[in-house]
Structure formats: C-alpha cells, structure tokens
Structure 1
Amino acid sequence: MTEFKRIPPAHAHSLLEEGAVLVDVRDQQTFAANHIPGAQHLDNLSIADFIAKADLDKPLIVVCYHGNSSQSAAAYLVGQGFSDVYSMDGGFELWRNTYPDETAQSATE
C-alpha cells in the first residue's frame, strides 16, 4: 500500500502549479473565511462524492489548520485508493505566513 508523504508549503506550491488537487479539511466556516485558492473543502458529508469523482492517480494535497488532521485525512484517502497523496506540514497557517498574497475567501452564499 502507498503511504502519504509530508511536504512543506513550498513543495505543495510546486505541485499545485503542476496541476495537483488540493483539499482542505478544516471546518466550513473557517474555510469560507480564508483558504488556498483552488482548494476544495472536504468534510464527512462531501468526501464520498469527492472520492467517487476523483482521479485516483492525480497528485492530491491535504491541508488542515496546522498539519495534524491532514495526516489522518491523507492516510484515509490512501486507503480509499489514491496513489499520490501529500499532507502539508504546518497547514493553512504556515501557507498563509509563507504566501500571504495567495489566499482567498469564499463568496457568501
């Protein structure tokens, strides 16, 4: 079985430029307030649909608040058949400090 890899924001940034998929597992309200552009929010309600529609061989980066919860989510996604999974160390907080101009807010619903 493939294991996920832990990577710093700079490596995640490079993978995103190459077309990797980014999922954010923080709560919906926090995600809506600020997230990495292009990220998809994943929670217990949306994960099954995401897995059903995903390209399991495309690089997948998981991000959370500080890089802890993303490791559990990354391990789960590996178990669901994803072959190239990454957990971003430092989470969104480190991304925001590293790339302060590369965050976005969701449109109000």
Structure 2
Amino acid sequence: MSFLFGRRQEAYGNLSVQEYRQRYYEPETDHVLVDVRTVGEFLSGHIPNALNIPLDQLSRRLGEIPQGKPVIVVCASGNRSRTGADILVRGGYTEVYNLKGGTMAWMMSGGKVE
C-alpha cells in the first residue's frame, strides 16, 4: 500500500533501543553492531562492541561484516543508519535492522558508551 503513495517499503527492520536491549544486547545474542558515524564521532563515544565503518566507506568494506548474523546499524540519530541498512540489504545481507534514534537515544535511555 505504501508504494501507492510514493513511499518505498524498507527491506530492513527497525528496532527501538528497548527492543535492541531485549533481543540482542542484554542476552548477549550473537549479532554485529555497525556504527556508520565518522571516526571522530565514534571515538567520542559508541555502544560497546560496535564496529565502526563510516557510511561513506560501507559499500567497499562489506567484507568486514560477517554474513549469517543479524546486523544492527547505528548512527547518531537514525538517519545515516537507514542508508547504511539499505546498502547492507543491497549487498546481500538478509537480517538487517536500523537502530531508531541512534546513539543519542541509546545514551538518553541510560545506555553506556565506550
């Protein structure tokens, strides 16, 4: 139905910070968290165990992200991570999620950063 109104349906899922904590972070479920912010942003504070691949490098660095695991993409607020999730889906990744609200939502919910 959204196609009729000019909006494309995303081929990836969206997770709230709470959903991410419950499904992946707290039970330590095997997954890959890809932070697509710049190196400077990443170094200023990131979710523990995140892999930093800046968005402008993501297409050429897909080989660094394991296949066969859920991949959660995060940025500062959720905008760049949506683009990153699209890139991953086009690259053949099948279980991809955008972390809604990004690291800002993570920190506002009390999540720790490294």
Q: TM-score, normalised by structure 2?
A: 0.80
> Which of 93, 97, 103 is matched with 2:104 structurally?
93
Map 1:17-96 onto structure 2 (within 5 A).
17-43=28-54, 44-45=56-57, 48-49=60-61, 51-96=62-107
1:11 lines up with 2:55 in the alignment: no
Q: TM-score, normalised by structure 1?
A: 0.83
CA 1:71–1:32: 2 relative to 1, 3 Å:
same
4+ residue runs over 4 A deviation: none
Deviations along 1:45-73, whole A, 9 cap, x unmatched?
46534x22433221000000111110011
Q: Which runs of 5+ in 2 are unaligned?
A: 1-9
Report the secondary structure of 1:95's partner residue.
helix
**Quick one: which amino acid aligns to residue 15 of structure 1?**
Y
Tell which has more relative contact order, 1 or 2 (C-alpha 8 A, sep 6+): 1
**Quick one: which amino acid aligns to residue 50 of structure 2?**
A
CA RMSD for the aligned pairs? 1.7
